[in-house]
Amino acid sequence: MRLNILGCYSATPRTMTNPTSQVLEIRNHVFLIDCGEGTQVQLRKSQIRFSRIKHIFISHLHGDHFFGLPGLISTFRLLGREADLHIYGPKGIKEAITLFLKLGDSWTNYKLIFHELEQKEPQLLFEDDQVQVSTIPLDHRIYTNGFLFEEKPLPRNLNIDEIRKHNIDQSQFNNIKKGVDGESDDGQKIPNVLLTFEPKAPKRYAFCSDTAYNENILPLIKGVDVLYHESTFLESEKHLGSKTKHATAKEAATIAKKADVGTLILGHYSTRYKSIQLFKAQAATIFENVVLAEDGKVIEI
Amino acid sequence: MRLNILGCYSATPRTMTNPTSQVLEIRNHVFLIDCGEGTQVQLRKSQIRFSRIKHIFISHLHGDHFFGLPGLISTFRLLGREADLHIYGPKGIKEAITLFLKLGDSWTNYKLIFHELEQKEPQLLFEDDQVQVSTIPLDHRIYTNGFLFEEKPLPRNLNIDEIRKHNIDQSQFNNIKKGVDGESDDGQKIPNVLLTFEPKAPKRYAFCSDTAYNENILPLIKGVDVLYHESTFLESEKHLGSKTKHATAKEAATIAKKADVGTLILGHYSTRYKSIQLFKAQAATIFENVVLAEDGKVIEI
């Protein structure tokens, strides 16, 4: 799993910083998460092929997470896209995008499929044999979801030496990979654990932005390998966090600690701060494994 | 008059090029013309103070002229703007912007005044004692206007030596600046031409993008000091111009020549071309005084 931070600041695009957008490469998928203004250019800088994106997840309809979407959809058309594009986002997103296309008489030549969200309970959005994506309801000024991206368990790896030793027929391989015991040519039962190695553990990534400090998400993100949690403010501006339903670095770290996650990535920094190093310092007083998101950074999960 | 080219390419924002946007500084005004995605960042790069913009003119509702507007309007709010903002653009622009604000529950704390356009005849949009702005109806795939920006004549400059020589009383100065003859203290009439110098001639700038070759605009832009005329294509792609209602460099030059303008600025280049030098070369076969727009370029008029 590889996370490309395209933009990780709040509010407005600036010369050197971009509003929220990420690309998660997970198994055979390239998922775009949020799409602030400038996402297209950040995608180009990151050399991510536009055509690989087939699913876009929008957390909420504030501009810094969403205003790059009409342009990206238009660019897909101009690039001659034919593949379906799935967009998951709050109710209203379809009307907004459709109106912008209509005003420009610029209908897409590919199929645009909207999955509008309005549930306040966690909800499965996408699933295939490799991954699944579900919502993490967040607590923000408007209806907002985070997203939980989960790899599905891989088949077990065959231990070829043991397979040969016990003369296991090839017709059993698929079942053995699924965990079924084997049978040797003389009818002896061979425990699966002898015939296979543990596959790589499936990874889980949780994206939680924008949100106030909210313990309701703990059971949903419990033990994820990586948690991206917004931290718009430092302690000195904690009062603004309560007012605008944003979190501080320490609050993000508290969530990370209580949920026992592997790594915490901080982002969605207010543009009022000249340096982001204090975010890490303040979070690290509570939770050790903290990474600062930065535009253009690639994080291997 | 000073023209800041923020973006001058068609279609999509890219790493090094931006879609259409310009800032015209004219007398005491700072007018924003079109607002493709990325305009905010280009404004910052050009060090133009956001608060100085009070009027935004949108030619048409294709993304490369318009998709930066919702974000700019939001940013004005975040910057604490209080001054009114006037937006002139095709009918539908109010619904589009209003929907985006509504979805984010992000109403502006300043007054947003829409002037929706649907006339196909030239129309006066704005006028004060310094300048006036009117539409130039263009020929594009959707309803599109160019804009004619005109300085009003300045008062005549007093010739202080002659004023003194003829003992002209100060109470006459305002009238004399307007062209009225003077009267000396012995009752003698002094022709205005003796008492004043010609003021700087008022300048006119015409912005014409997007449009097919269209001679109907000639009477409107006759003799302007500077014409910005789109030239999306080179001669080799002229057939695409007819199809998409865009002009070639040669067509833009033909318009410039027939309208007897001072300088022609070319822009709205298709992103298919690696270099824009051929645009100038092809236009120069027809019209001599050609300038190539480039993102970030400042052109004194």
* Complex ipTM value: 0.93
What pLDDT score was predicted for residue B250? 98
Asked whether the beta carbons of residue A75 and residue B12 sit closer than 8 angstroms, the reply is: yes
What pLDDT score was predicted for residue A146? 98
Query: Are the beta carbons of A286 and A260 closer than 8 angstroms?
Result: no
Q: What are the pLDDT digits (tens) for A254-286? A: 999 999 999 999 999 999 999 999 999 999 999
Residues 159-198 of A with CB under 8 A from B: none
Cβ neighbours of residue A4 under 8 Å, at least 6 residues apart? A22, A23, A24, A25, A46, A48, A297, A298
* CATH code of A262's domain: 3.60.15.10
A115 and A172 within one domain: no
Pairing of strands A290-292, A263-267: parallel
Cα nearest neighbour of A62 on chain B? B104
A176 and A49 within one domain: no
Asked whether the beta carbons of residue B104 and residue A63 sit closer than 8 angstroms, the reply is: yes
Query: Which domain range does residue B111 map to?
Result: 2-154+200-300
Query: Are the beta carbons of A63 and A10 closer than 8 angstroms?
Result: no
What pLDDT score was predicted for residue A214? 98
Query: Active site includes A64?
Result: yes
Start-to-end CA span in chain A (Å):
5
What pLDDT score was predicted for residue B49? 96
Pairing of strands A196-197, A290-292: unpaired
Interface test with A, best of B34, B100, B102, B245 (most A CBs within 10 A): B100
The answer, for B99 touching chain A at a CB cutoff of 8 Å, is yes
Q: For chain A, give the percent of residues with pLDDT over 90.
A: 99
Which of B34, B64, B210, B295 is the catalytic position? B64
Asked whether the beta carbons of residue B92 and residue A103 sit closer than 8 angstroms, the reply is: yes
B149 and B14 within one domain: yes
The answer, for B62 touching chain A at a CB cutoff of 8 Å, is yes
A282 and A164 within one domain: no
B165 and B36 within one domain: no
A150 and A243 within one domain: yes
Question: What token pair was written down for A69?
Answer: 């979407």
What pLDDT score was predicted for residue A208? 98
Q: How far apart are CA B185 and CA B79, in angstroms?
A: 57
Interface test with B, best of A16, A65, A67 (most B CBs within 10 A): A67
B86 and B26 within one domain: yes
What pLDDT score was predicted for residue B42? 98
Q: How far is A65 from chain B (nearest CA, A)?
A: 10
Average pLDDT over residues B121-136: 98
Place of tokens 């209908």: A107
Place of tokens 């985006």: B100
Average pLDDT over residues B91-101: 97
Asked whether the beta carbons of residue A71 and residue B96 sit closer than 8 angstroms, the reply is: no
Query: Are the beta carbons of B195 and B161 closer than 8 angstroms?
Result: no
B188 and B42 within one domain: no
What pLDDT score was predicted for residue B60? 98
B109 and B7 within one domain: yes
What pLDDT score was predicted for residue B247? 98
Q: What are the pLDDT digits (tens) for B8-56? A: 999 999 999 999 999 999 999 999 999 999 999 999 999 999 999 999 9
Tell me the pLDDT band of B223, cut-offs 50, 70 and 90. Answer: very high
- What is the tally of structural domains in chain A? 2
Which of A34, A64, A210, A295 is the catalytic position? A64
Q: What are the pLDDT digits (tens) for B193-211? A: 999 999 999 999 999 999 9
Asked whether the beta carbons of residue A100 and residue B141 sit closer than 8 angstroms, the reply is: no
Query: Are the beta carbons of B146 and B135 closer than 8 angstroms?
Result: yes
Pairing of strands A226-230, B290-292: unpaired
Tell me the pLDDT band of A293, cut-offs 50, 70 and 90. Answer: very high
What pLDDT score was predicted for residue A88? 98
Average pLDDT over residues B157-182: 95
B245 and B286 within one domain: yes
Q: How far apart are CA B289 and CA B210, in angstroms?
A: 21
B139 and B183 within one domain: no
In sign, the C-alpha dihedral spanning A86, A88, A94, A96 is negative
The answer, for A71 touching chain B at a CB cutoff of 8 Å, is yes
Q: What are the pLDDT digits (tens) for A73-94? A: 999 999 999 999 999 999 999 9
What pLDDT score was predicted for residue A43? 98
The pTM of the full predicted model, rounded to 2 decimals, is 0.95
Question: What token pair was written down for B245?
Answer: 């209602």
Query: Are the beta carbons of B215 and B180 closer than 8 angstroms?
Result: no
Q: How far apart are CA A234 and CA A268, in angstroms?
A: 12
B162 and B280 within one domain: no
Q: What are the pLDDT digits (tens) for B231-287? A: 999 999 999 999 999 999 999 999 999 999 999 999 999 999 999 999 999 999 999
Average pLDDT over residues A166-185: 95
Q: How far apart are CA B217 and CA B228, in angstroms?
A: 13
